[in-house]
Structure 1
């Protein structure tokens, strides 16, 4: 979709997919992917050389979008480096670098010298790098709960702010393409050989993408004109390692918890960015949940037809889509759903719609029944 919010919005408005035939994996794999352009040519500044890897390069590109570094610096000056928390979500962190190290073992079975950097062979690699890059000294947390990871970071940050442990938080998520993910999902028979088609009657699997995104959370009085995180819901039904609960138990618990915490009735929700991966079971369960919870006036769509499934980064990526809907009154169409599944009710927006959006939800439903839902609203909204 490009770099930054303007590029994202232009892609949504033009209903243009960012998916391409797989040109990433080391062995042939017939599928489509969402690959970030320019990542191979990107480089971390010299002082961050110990963290050099694809995932952290993508994080660095994300941090340098839309003046974000300057906003964090202003918050650091206002609150102090130790009063800003950092909460990042990722499902694989820098495992791509560890894959490379194992491919290049020396005769004694050791990592090659240039890959003997412990900082990148750990799940906390992303958070450690971002903390160093932003100069933050407050609580630092990596959330790795599969596809809900970078949605759950909003909940963790809001709790710490409410408890007075911090005054602001940087939240975000980054996941990059790697063979472990591509071939792992393919082994589960979840990967389509075509561009993914969320909620389409003939859908047959996901497309995998990569993304980075970050947001700055502060108390309302520090940014009265900014959109608001009204609430969140989290649940884990542990129904199955990779298949959602057939009645959407955990997803429903997370959704209703978000509405309750935000003080919202379902009818007040203008738009829902759905998890909508284009897998058979996920879309079936989520469509039923929407149909039995929301009126036809609530609009709903998946945007994975634009990006593919960005795994641990999907929460932050799709939160930004929900916030774009609020700011610009854009309900993005459900790209790829050319033959709508009859299970989808009247709430589904199959093409772009322009209308005021005061309240938007973002669903992130992960493996193991680990689910999260975020509720956002325009500045000044009162439930």
Structure 2
């Protein structure tokens, strides 16, 4: 059974919507800024959404959180399509499956700080906003959806898993449409948590470079309508694994990453040579990039697809990363949105291979301004605990 990704709403440090995102992606314009001292007490860059976020409708004020504002901004871009699907299929035949790892934690941080100062918690604060299912609950209330609605939280693979779960609901004919994607917002918990792991960079992160020293944390939201109705892009392959090698470090040989990519290729009934672009997980941490380089060489032996990591542009959006990077692939695959068939190039010191780590197996880096035959793209998301996801998207011929 075929599943299609019919429409997309997104907001990230690169901007809001299709045009702004594509322009920044292909120009290599990052959305990273210095982190304020209110978030972390050491230098680092963050991928903050700088656009003014829409206020929630008054009747949904109890759902206020930055996470839900990001989600609302994404949903409003496809609001007409969501409402048309509900009208056509009925509220019980529409589901919501999202990935997140922060939910409304930032609001709880502000409330706890106020209480510690002897002040009242901010108006409309509710600890329920930090519960992981809250984003799905908010969308379900907003659109009065009666189908399954839940959030998957498996760290950085969360929204990749959401796409897999959404596809499974459609394959089982439990619903006709799934609003799927991911959302995460900046907060002290994640920034300081990764700092405690010595995993954050003081400057713009540099995936796969010799001097890479950690990640930048970002925030974003991406929502897609997935259905059996033909659309511009098809989700043709999903693969997942859980190697459980270590609570935070990946398997050094990339066994779990290899398993996820091969499972996605098998699911799509494709050979490795049929992947036209590989969006790497590429966090810019020493261990992750080393592992992923080895895994890509294992899976794509004899053929290396043009590849890049977009985290140097957006930061690592954690629970939203799988969705936002699948969204980038969705945009790149469509000639109407990407008429020159270009790819985002990796961050580099001087436009050649000199900056990349010579100790890593060499990958086929996408080149800025070059035209590529783009029909099929793979996007990788690898998480703590060895929880790995690979998705394969394919352009539908017109």
TM-score range, shorter chain: over 0.9
Cα drift, residue 293 of structure 1: 2.1
| Alignment gaps of 5+ in structure 1 | none
| Alignment gaps of 5+ in structure 2 | 1-13
**Is residue 2:42 matched to residue 1:29?**
yes
**Is residue 2:232 matched to residue 1:226?**
yes
**Is residue 2:334 matched to residue 1:318?**
no
Instruction: Sort the Cα spacing of 1:254 and 1:24 in 2 relative to 1 into closer, same or farther, 3 A.
Output: farther
Cα drift, residue 296 of structure 1: 4.1
CA contact (8 A) 2:108 2:127 kept: no
CA contact (8 A) 2:62 2:124 kept: no
**Is residue 2:217 matched to residue 1:217?**
no
1:307 paired residue number: 314
Cα drift, residue 119 of structure 1: 3.3
Alignment of 1:93-112 (within 5 A): 93-105=103-115, 112=121
Cα drift, residue 24 of structure 1: 6.3
Instruction: Sort the Cα spacing of 1:312 and 1:200 in 2 relative to 1 into closer, same or farther, 3 A.
Output: same
Cα drift, residue 12 of structure 1: 1.2
2:65 paired residue number: 53
**Is residue 2:155 matched to residue 1:139?**
no
Cα drift, residue 244 of structure 1: 0.3
1:365 paired residue number: 382
Alignment of 1:178-193 (within 5 A): 178-193=187-202
CA distance in 1, matches of 2:93, 2:297: 42
CA contact (8 A) 1:270 1:297 kept: no
Of 285, 288, 294 in structure 1, the residue corresponding to residue 291 of structure 2 is: 285
Q: 124-133 or 357-366: which moved more?
A: 124-133
CA contact (8 A) 1:291 1:347 kept: no
**Is residue 2:98 matched to residue 1:88?**
yes
CA contact (8 A) 1:301 1:350 kept: no
CA contact (8 A) 2:261 2:299 kept: no
Of 255, 265, 276 in structure 1, the residue corresponding to residue 261 of structure 2 is: 255
CA contact (8 A) 1:34 1:209 kept: yes
**Is residue 2:342 matched to residue 1:330?**
yes
Cα drift, residue 172 of structure 1: 1.1
CA contact (8 A) 1:333 1:353 kept: no
Moved >6 Å (runs of 4+):
none
Cα drift, residue 111 of structure 1: 6.8
CA contact (8 A) 2:307 2:363 kept: no
- What's the C-alpha RMSD, in Å, of the aligned pairs? 1.9
Q: Residues 62-101 of structure 1: CA distance to partner in whole angstroms, max 9, x if unpaired?
A: 1123xx1111111111111110110000011111111112
2:7 paired residue number: none
Instruction: Sort the Cα spacing of 1:196 and 1:379 in 2 relative to 1 into closer, same or farther, 3 A.
Output: same
With structure 2 as the length reference, what TM-score do the two structures score? 0.90
Of 23, 26, 29 in structure 2, the residue corresponding to residue 13 of structure 1 is: 26
CA distance in 2, matches of 1:76, 1:344: 48
**Is residue 2:279 matched to residue 1:245?**
no
1:341 paired residue number: 357
Alignment of 1:109-188 (within 5 A): 112=121, 114=123, 116-188=125-197
Instruction: Sort the Cα spacing of 1:113 and 1:271 in 2 relative to 1 into closer, same or farther, 3 A.
Output: closer
CA contact (8 A) 1:305 1:335 kept: yes
Number of aligned residue pairs: give it.
Answer: 374
Cα drift, residue 114 of structure 1: 2.8
Cα drift, residue 135 of structure 1: 2.6
Of 361, 379, 382 in structure 1, the residue corresponding to residue 396 of structure 2 is: 379
Cα drift, residue 28 of structure 1: 2.9
With structure 1 as the length reference, what TM-score do the two structures score? 0.93
Cα drift, residue 14 of structure 1: 1.2
Instruction: Sort the Cα spacing of 1:110 and 1:119 in 2 relative to 1 into closer, same or farther, 3 A.
Output: farther
